[in-house]
Amino acid sequence: MNGPDREDRNARVDDPFCELLGVTFADVGDGTATARMPVTPDHLNVVGVLHGGATFALADSAAGTAASTRLGDDSGVAIEANVSFLATVEVGETVTATAEVTHESDRTLEMTVTVETETGERVASYRARGYKF
């Protein structure tokens, strides 16, 4: 399966899981992506703050979108990802994930993502590697 050409790359942003979470993309560039998610009661964990899975999904979506801009005619798949949770977030705040492709070889990509609140407080740091085929 071939990846999208440059004109079709933004189609990858329109994904059902992002829609379910309320994730929107503010910017997609060459090797970069910025995604936002308003925190609603549906995003909370058992103690009433932003669920780590929702944070991970936001960061992962931004990383995947940034990576997709570098795939050309290739397709890709994540081969590893990790996240460090740094702060809690409450309902009503919006979190922003800023992703960048930080390394690329013939077959692999590395993406880093910073997740922050509207006031610039760091919520999470994320790093992933993907494989191009």
Q: 100-111: per-residue pLDDT in tens? A: 999 999 999 999
pLDDT value of residue 13:
63
Give the domains, in start order, of the chain with CATH numbers. Answer: 6-132 (3.10.129.10)
Whether pLDDT at 6 is above 70: no
Whether pLDDT at 72 is above 60: yes
For the chain, what percent of residues have pLDDT higher than 70? 90
pTM: 0.89
Helix (H) / strand (E) element for 131: namely: strand 122-132
Whether pLDDT at 2 is above 80: no
For residue 117, the tally of other CB atoms under 10 A from its CB is: 17
Taking Cα atoms as reference points, which of 50, 32, 38 lies closest to residue 114?
32
Q: What is the DSSP letter of 22?
A: T
pLDDT value of residue 74:
84
Rg of the chain on CA atoms, in Å? 14
Whether pLDDT at 133 is above 50: yes
